[in-house]
């Protein structure tokens, strides 16, 4: 879930989004596709966590990746 900032209206918030370089984002998507086609589930989840820091694995075997730095895996 992305961070948001409050506004003067209690039900309206402004998203604080990251900017991505198009070519880096495209490369990440292509790598995700390559890993998915290889059915390399662990590597796919690691790349998701590296690319999307908010991505958390709840109630799954991949929760361990949430507790371990992605680069060290």
Say yes or no to pLDDT of 68 above 70.
Answer: no
How confident is the model at residue 53, as a pLDDT? 78
Contact in structure between 47 and 31 (CB atoms under 8 Å): yes
Q: CA-CA distance, 73 to 70, in Å (whole number)?
A: 6
Top pLDDT among 67 and 10 is at: 10
CB atoms closer than 10 angstroms to residue 55: 15
Q: CA-CA distance, 54 to 69, in Å (whole number)?
A: 14
Binned at pLDDT 50, 70 and 90, residue 59 comes out as low
Top pLDDT among 28 and 61 is at: 28
């Amino acid at each position: 879930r992305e961070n948001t900032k409050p506004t003067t209206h209690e039900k309206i918030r402004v998203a604080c989004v990251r900017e991505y370089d198009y070519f880096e984002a495209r490369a990440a998507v292509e790598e995700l596709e390559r890993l998915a086609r290889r059915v390399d589930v662990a590597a796919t989840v690691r790349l998701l966590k590296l690319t999307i820091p908010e991505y958390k694995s709840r109630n799954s075997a991949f929760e361990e990746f949430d507790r371990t730095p992605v680069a060290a895996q």
